Amino acid sequence: MVYLTRKAEFSASHVYHNPELSPEENRRVFGKCNNPNGHGHNYMLEVTVKGEVDQTSGFVVDLKQLKEVMHREVLDAMDHRFLNKEVPEFLHQIPTTENIAIVVWNRLVTKLKNATLHRVRVYETSDLFVDFYGEL
């Protein structure tokens, strides 16, 4: 089994706000991430797939296909977007780094050919990142 990781960067804005909580509660739970007009990050995405090395090609996965799927499913949808308003999954779900990792996983997992998705890692900053392995 070999693991292959492909990185991609996207920039987006978001706000943390739960309409079921009072303004005071939102402020207390989310702090400055609750500032009403949002704020942004340069996100770094790492997608790790695993598989056996194909004897003919020597590849674990067709990197070109992986790159295309990442672009189509994730970057085209999220890069230079306001996540809360422009990404359907976040209309009713807070776009925390945890939820972004889960959404990226769900968007990729059925689209990859001949490779198994192992991990989605999303860096919100260089000092904060989330890993999702598809665990319930």
Per-residue binder mask for other proteins (CB under 8 A), 98-127, x = binder: xx-xx----------------x------xx
Structure tokens at 46: 């790492």
Active site residue 86: no
Let me know: does 49 contact 109? Beta carbons within 8 Å. no
Tell the residue number behind the tokens 């308003």, with chain if given.
85
Q: How many CA atoms lie within 13 A of 16 on its CB side?
A: 15
Q: How far is the CB of 136 from other proteins (least distance, A)?
A: 6
* Beta partners for residue 3, in sequence order: 50
Per-residue binder mask for other proteins (CB under 8 A), 8-37, x = binder: --------x-x-xx-------xxx------
Active site residue 14: no
Let me know: does 57 contact 12? Beta carbons within 8 Å. no
Active site residue 17: no
Residues annotated as catalytic are 33, 80, 124
Residues forming contacts to other proteins in the complex (CB under 8 A) are 3, 16, 18, 20-21, 29-31, 93-99, 101-102, 119, 126-133, 135-136
